[in-house]
Amino acid sequence: MPPSSLNAFWMPFTANQQFKSEPRLLTKAKGMYYTSDDDRPILDGTAGLWCVNAGHGREEITEAVSAQLGTLDFAPTFQMGHPLPFELAERLIKHSPEGMDHVFFTNSGSESVDTALKIALAYHRARGNPGKTRFIGREKGYHGTNFGGVSVGGLVNNRRSFGPLLPGVDHLPHAWVPGSEFTQGQPEHGAELAEALLRLIELHGADTIAAVIVEPIVGSGGVWIPPQGYLQRLREITAEHDIVLIFDEVITGFGRVGSSFAAKRMGVTPDLMTTAKGLTNGAIPMGAVFIQSHIHEAFMQGPPELIDLFHGYTYSGHPVAAAAALASLDIYEREHLFERALTLEAQWQASLHALREFEVVKDIRNYGLVGAIELHPGSRIGERGYQVFHHCFWKEHTLVRCTADTIALSPPLIVEPEQIDALMQALANGLRSLSTRN
């Protein structure tokens, strides 16, 4: 049944007027495909919104969720507990980078980010450094939509309407140097951009800086792969100056880049790691912050009867979400999905980069099962990106994502080689449709 009216739902991050004049509605999903309301199978090139890593409609998750609802629908985790989040945290830390052995649960990526920022502040305070309060984000960063995340984020459209945001925030420059176009994997040049952190330390004083937050791979800001050695250098500088390093792995976590986390594949361990999305395969909202033991320990020094962190959400460790996450982990482990992006990477990279033959293509970037095709802008920024997205959905029955004039790709990790070919064919047709139009 189509909805009787599209009017009342104010859609997030959407051109509502445009959408409602020609709605794109999805009504079902299974495996690699959605079904649209006009009954077309739609190949999912975006894992929903970077979250359905094990593919759609996984029965184990459905069963776990419905069984959990019938057993324990809700129980508080403030001064009370129930078994599932304990079990889930133990399972999760088996996949986290060495030393990240505690987990704080949230309900979204945005909440994970704000939680991590608050933990960083409270950590310094607990260790007698209450003056370390500044945050350093990065240009083009996306860290969700809450005030902390927007403040450290680096996307002007997400910031400009919302006032002065958090005080005491500075930004690193975007980590990419011209000349890196069409690099396959990590660019060779640009590690020196991490030295900008030393300049900010010189400007503000390390004794005022609490944390640096970056996405290991920039996702929503257009898919940018870090130069070789860049994250390592950030790690060295932050360690030297007692600054908490936060990796925002909301997109890169849970197998997207060929390992459980980008931190693991890239061999750099942050102090805090924010996650969400793939944690429950997108089925139930849930996020998690991973915490290094030395940070956790700093909170466990007070009298045992005192609350150690005045932070949390009613639904932190929600039983139904935890059941969905445990079932997702079962699938990821059994089907070796954390490693699958690695086995598909060569084909993914080759077929994606073959699209550079189109003149309109300005750059192509890839890592794991993430890809981006950046287009030369047309007369209006974002116009061409939207046209490709629109063409792919209506004519090619394929879902891709566009941010301005960059097409971002992140299929479910169960994607088969022939579905990668189909996705690239759809994109080629989308790009071809542009050159006949513009």
Ligand X SMILES: Cc1ncc(COP(=O)(O)O)c(C=O)c1O
Is position 403 an interface residue for ligand X (rule: CB under 6 A)? no
When the beta carbons of 187 and 219 are compared against ligand X, the nearer one is: 219
Per rule CB under 6 A, count of chain residues that contact ligand X: 14
- According to DSSP, the β-strands at 370-375 and 169-172 are unpaired
Binding ligand X by CB under 6 A: which of 143, 265, 391, 401? Answer: 143
CA distance 404 to 381: 6
Angle, helices 319-334 vs 83-93, to 10°: value is 30
Binding ligand X by CB under 6 A: which of 114, 170, 248, 271? Answer: 248
SS3 96: coil
Binding ligand X by CB under 6 A: which of 55, 85, 190, 219? Answer: 219
Residue 70 DSSP symbol: H
When the beta carbons of 224 and 338 are compared against ligand X, the nearer one is: 224
Q: What contacts 166, CB < 8 A, 6 or more positions away?
A: 135, 147, 148, 151, 152
Phi first, then psi, for residue 249 (nearest 5°) are -105, 30
Is position 276 an interface residue for ligand X (rule: CB under 6 A)? yes
Residue 33 and residue 43 in contact, taking contact as beta carbons nearer than 8 Å? yes
Binding ligand X by CB under 6 A: which of 116, 250, 289, 434? Answer: 250
When the beta carbons of 136 and 201 are compared against ligand X, the nearer one is: 136
Is position 110 an interface residue for ligand X (rule: CB under 6 A)? yes
When the beta carbons of 201 and 268 are compared against ligand X, the nearer one is: 268
When the beta carbons of 142 and 348 are compared against ligand X, the nearer one is: 142
Of the candidates 278, 248, 370, the residue with the CA atom closest to the CA atom of residue 92: 278
Identify each DSSP E strand in 81-131 by its residue range.
Answer: 102-106
Binding ligand X by CB under 6 A: which of 85, 144, 253, 282? Answer: 144
Is position 92 an interface residue for ligand X (rule: CB under 6 A)? no
Strand arrangement, sheet containing 102-106: 102-106, 287-291, 272-275, 244-248, 209-214, 134-138, 169-172
CB-side neighbour CA atoms (13 Å) of 326: 21
When the beta carbons of 170 and 248 are compared against ligand X, the nearer one is: 248
| Shortest Å, Cβ 110 to ligand X | 3
**H helices of 193-336, where?**
196-204, 230-240, 262-266, 293-298, 319-334
Is position 220 an interface residue for ligand X (rule: CB under 6 A)? yes
Is position 367 an interface residue for ligand X (rule: CB under 6 A)? no
| Shortest Å, Cβ 142 to ligand X | 5
Binding ligand X by CB under 6 A: which of 46, 68, 96, 108? Answer: 108
Residue 170 and residue 97 in contact, taking contact as beta carbons nearer than 8 Å? no
List the interface residues with ligand X, window 298-317 (CB under 6 A): none
Residue closest to ligand X, measured at CB = 109
Of the listed pieces 54-62, 176-184, 213-221, 371-379, which binds ligand X according to CB under 6 A? 213-221
Binding site for ligand X (CB under 6 A): 108-110, 113, 142-144, 215, 219-220, 248, 250-251, 276
